[in-house]
Amino acid sequence: MTAEFAALVPAVVLVLAVSLGGMQLAARQLQLQDAAALAARSAARDARVDSVIDALVPGASVQLESRGNLVCAKVSMAGTALSSIVGASRLTASSCAIAEGR
């Protein structure tokens, strides 16, 4: 029974590491999506966007783009060490809002 246990431990550790990486990746993606939605709404009201993004997701960058009467925000950041296990080196989220008075 010792040999079976010794063969099982690395497999359990690998599954645990991939699961933790996936959960961390999903949580980070949700943060980015919330930040992108808030950045788009803030940019549509001509408010400062950089301070909002820094407060929500430190280390993320934001790009703003106008599409007719829409203002779109694309927020991206580098993935973490555990998220690279599941193949995500860069995370990105985008959102649009109707611009006021345009």
Q: In whole angstroms, what is the distance from residue 70 CA to residue 92 CA?
A: 19
Name which residue leads in pLDDT, 102 or 89: 89
Q: In whole angstroms, what is the distance from residue 50 CA to residue 39 CA?
A: 8
| pLDDT tens digits along 11-44 | 899 888 888 877 888 888 899 999 999 999 999 8
Query: Please, which residues have CB within 8 angstroms of residue 44's CB and are 6 or more apart in sequence?
Result: 71, 97, 98, 99, 100
pTM for this entry: 0.78
Q: In whole angstroms, what is the distance from residue 52 CA to residue 69 CA?
A: 22
Q: Which domain holds residue 70?
A: 2-98
| pLDDT tens digits along 55-72 | 888 889 999 999 889 999
Amino acid symbol at 39: A
What is the domain count for the chain? 1
* pLDDT tier, 82 (very low <50, low <70, confident <90, very high otherwise): low
- What are the distances in angstroms from CA 40 to CA 33, 60, 63, 77, 93? 11, 15, 10, 17, 11
Q: Tell me the Ramachandran region of residue 100: left when phi exceeds 0, alpha when psi lies from -120 to 50, beta otherwise.
A: beta
Beta bridge partners of 93: 75
